[in-house]
Structure 1
Amino acid sequence: MNGIYKRFIFRVASEVVNNAKEIAPYKTGNLKKDIKVISYSHKKAVIGNTKLAPYAKFVHFGTKPHMIKAKNKKVLAAKGKIFGKKVNHPGTKANPYLENAANRYINSSGFTRAKSALANEVKNRLINDIKKQLKT
């Protein structure tokens, strides 16, 4: 029976990943490409980003205002602008694209179909197990 649940969990996790890739910010780059099913079992799945997009947690959870200091250079610079030795970053608003993708999928007809397929598989397995027991 665990195999049935494991397939269901992987199906759900894969669909959440697909939704996350659709709604994640940044049309190009590693953030979208890197959303994956990291692990799964008959009980749970872990989805998210790997080391390819180490900044993903800052996008997903946001950041508080903070100070950025130059480490290996004399000044901070980006896109031809020089900012100085340190800058006050205003923080970033959270964009919980993984959570939003999970909620979107759970409220979709795709999840309803996945649950129906699971119920049918469990029912068929139970019927077959009962038939086997009756033959012995």
Structure 2
Amino acid sequence: MGTTIQEINSVVNRYIHAIHTQNEAEFKSLWCGADTDTMISVTNVYQGIEKIYTDFVIDAIQKAYTDIKLIADEPPEIHLLDNQTAIVIFKYHTECIKREDGSTFGISGMETQVMKCIDGQWKLCHIHYSM
């Protein structure tokens, strides 16, 4: 159980890092890669890893900000539904620099992640942001 929790925490931390770097390979490697992978941002729904990366990371985040930091405000709550499915919940905030004028901006809220263990590796299949 302890190793599983550590592995899931590692995925959360790598996701937070990938949001900051916006590195395509790093970001995509965290996901199941299925057509059913889903991201619900504060305003939109993105389906499939290509749409999630292109429409959310590139067209939303990268176009709006020169820098973004996603910060978990507390250790995530990890709920194992079975040995292959986990729900992760944590409070977050962002620290951003707006591309248009260099001003600071941020939001805060709750993030929910659903992960599946595929071939011994925990992968994201769903993320939901709320404010």
TM-score, normalisation: structure 1: 0.26
More strand by share: 2
